[in-house]
Structure 1
């Protein structure tokens, strides 16, 4: 086989180009700290790394969803805590209002106090979050869910609870419609003496109590007193049922907030594991990589020197 000058030159250039490419690749790995910077570096590792990155992206999305859910549930829990306090205060006034030693003026004072509680409950039922959305309106978050009119307080919000997917296999309620909170009872609600269901509308109950307390009892006879006691007894039972319902909703919210904490801890632990796996797949061994970089640099410099010397040779020099 004849080795022409052009062939020798071409082979030497290819060798230098290959060495230079390897050296630049090593330099890229050292500078980035990554062994796999493109799929061709290690197709299997690159594929596995892509799956891990996709999982991390989904986890980041669920982290945002969990944060939003936590804020919504915390807003609702805060409002319902105040609702519970007001209902307990109303029950105290109802019990005190049925005391036989009170006169009409005393009962009128209690009626005024119950009116204030009722107004506070309406305000709490129309609580808005930091974005101006009504938290007890279901999906109709842009308008007040509870409206006071001649017929009392009516609900005009949505009838579906707001839900949020907070993990791959978990969707939870993060916004209860107002009618399920202020106009509903639990399954074990106390019935009326005749076996009928108790009044569920907490505002209607308070209105009945306020009207009864404002009605003068002096000189009205036993029938009026009996009617007053029956009304106050009905309101007492109804408010107890309403309070139990609110406490039941609060218990559900508390359970979900605890679950969000657990999901957050699990996600953080999973992120640690995934980050370690990704590092093992794509990161370099810094000591080994620097050593290889230096060796390739030395080899490349030697190739440059050899090529330079060969190109300066002539036929006369080779024949000496």
Structure 2
């Protein structure tokens, strides 16, 4: 088999061109620092590197979302701290309002201060984060979740947000808290039953907030403690709305400061009632912290004939409900603090995961520069040797001898 000189030359030129292309490709890898620039360079490595890049992108997106949630939670925690301070100021004012020497002008001054604090509390409940989202709107809803509709007929504050809040995930945290659960679900009275004076009372009788002595004995019935004067002796009778007069509390002589217990309830009665006066005991429902403050304002401005008894009763009840509301604020603040701690842990975890994914991606597609430069020099040396040998072989022709 004969191989022509032209064919040999063509093969050599093709080989030189291929080596030049390989050298150029190696030079490009050194310039970019990438061993795998397209899938054909290393299909397996390219696929794994793309997978690592996708995971890295998701992790970085989770980090951005986490940082946004952390910022919102920090502002919410700060708002709850401010709300707690405002509640404490209200409490201090209520303590001073119990001063028996205060007249209408002093009580009016306290009432105005309480109104100002109430407005500040509503302002805190409507706080927004840096992105304009409400911090206490729950799952969404109105741009202003707490709307003050208080008027002469007394509608109070209305929650226009959506109750509830997003659950924390493995890589995410809620960006808003449920303001309804924080401020709008304060238990009335002592949390089990609520004591109040009948509007038609003319005496000075009032009660403590009461307490539960035997939870198992509580019936959930409405009770009325009525007073009647019999043979010059003031007596009281406890009547259930379901079963009628309560045994052991029918026509019992009354003395100021006495404590009575019936069907799991215990309460102290103070002051001197008038015949026909009545104290009502009703099962507790929920009120809101804004109404608690407004009830105190209304009590301080009460000018009825038995305003002293009504005021004492209202202030005692307000103090108890205010403490319960403060506990809910502190509970929410503690939850926000827990989430902030969790945000720090999640941030560290995802930062470490990002570093691992970047390392994995670099291992799969980056070029070892020392090895790359060494390979480039060897390829360059080989190309130079091939060019020189080709120049020498090209002269080996019959025409050179003929000449």
TM-score (norm 1): 0.88
* Aligned counterpart, 1:31: 31
Distance 1:299 1:62, change over 3 A: same
Query: In 2, are the aligned partners of 1:153 and 1:203 still within 8 Å (CA)?
Result: yes
Question: What's the offset of the Cα at 1:90?
Answer: 0.7
Counterpart CA distance in 2 for 1:256 and 1:26 is: 51
* Aligned counterpart, 1:255: 338
* Aligned counterpart, 2:78: 78
Q: For residues 54-93 of structure 1, what are the structure 2 equivalents within 5 Å? A: 54-93=54-93
* 2:325 is equivalent to residue 242 of structure 1: yes
Name whichever of 115-124 and 191-200 sits farther off: 191-200
* 2:295 is equivalent to residue 208 of structure 1: yes
Q: Secondary structure at the match of 2:364?
A: helix
Question: What's the offset of the Cα at 1:170?
Answer: 4.3
Question: What's the offset of the Cα at 1:243?
Answer: 0.8
* Aligned counterpart, 1:265: 348
Deviations 1:131-176 (A, max 9, x none): 43333233125345323342343324222445387x6x34433212
* Aligned counterpart, 1:20: 20
Q: Secondary structure at the match of 1:174?
A: coil
Q: Secondary structure at the match of 2:100?
A: coil
Counterpart CA distance in 1 for 2:171 and 2:397 is: 79
* 2:226 is equivalent to residue 226 of structure 1: no
Query: In 2, are the aligned partners of 1:20 and 1:300 still within 8 Å (CA)?
Result: yes
Number of aligned positions between the proteins: 312
Distance 1:315 1:81, change over 3 A: same
Counterpart CA distance in 1 for 2:351 and 2:284 is: 48
Q: Secondary structure at the match of 1:157?
A: strand
Distance 1:6 1:142, change over 3 A: farther
Counterpart CA distance in 2 for 1:228 and 1:141 is: 36
Name whichever of 299-308 and 256-265 sits farther off: 299-308
Query: In 1, are the aligned partners of 2:72 and 2:176 still within 8 Å (CA)?
Result: yes
* Aligned counterpart, 1:108: 108
Question: What's the offset of the Cα at 1:317?
Answer: 2.5
Gaps spanning 5+ residues in structure 1: where? Answer: none
* 2:177 is equivalent to residue 180 of structure 1: no
Counterpart CA distance in 1 for 2:148 and 2:307 is: 32
Distance 1:5 1:140, change over 3 A: same
Determine which of 274, 296, 314 is the counterpart of 2:379: 296
* 2:366 is equivalent to residue 283 of structure 1: yes
More helix by share: 1
Name whichever of 224-233 and 130-139 sits farther off: 130-139
* Aligned counterpart, 2:267: none
- Indicate the RMSD between aligned Cα atoms, in angstroms: 2.4
Distance 1:318 1:292, change over 3 A: farther
Q: Secondary structure at the match of 1:142?
A: strand
Query: In 1, are the aligned partners of 2:134 and 2:144 still within 8 Å (CA)?
Result: yes
Question: What's the offset of the Cα at 1:242?
Answer: 0.9
Query: In 2, are the aligned partners of 1:198 and 1:238 still within 8 Å (CA)?
Result: no
Question: What's the offset of the Cα at 1:200?
Answer: 2.4
Q: Secondary structure at the match of 1:3?
A: coil
Query: In 2, are the aligned partners of 1:185 and 1:241 still within 8 Å (CA)?
Result: yes
Gaps spanning 5+ residues in structure 2: where? Answer: 195-209, 211-280
Deviations 1:2-43 (A, max 9, x none): 111231122112211221122112112211222222222222
Deviations 1:191-223 (A, max 9, x none): 433473264211111111001112248xx4xx4
Query: In 2, are the aligned partners of 1:147 and 1:156 still within 8 Å (CA)?
Result: no
Q: Secondary structure at the match of 2:287?
A: coil
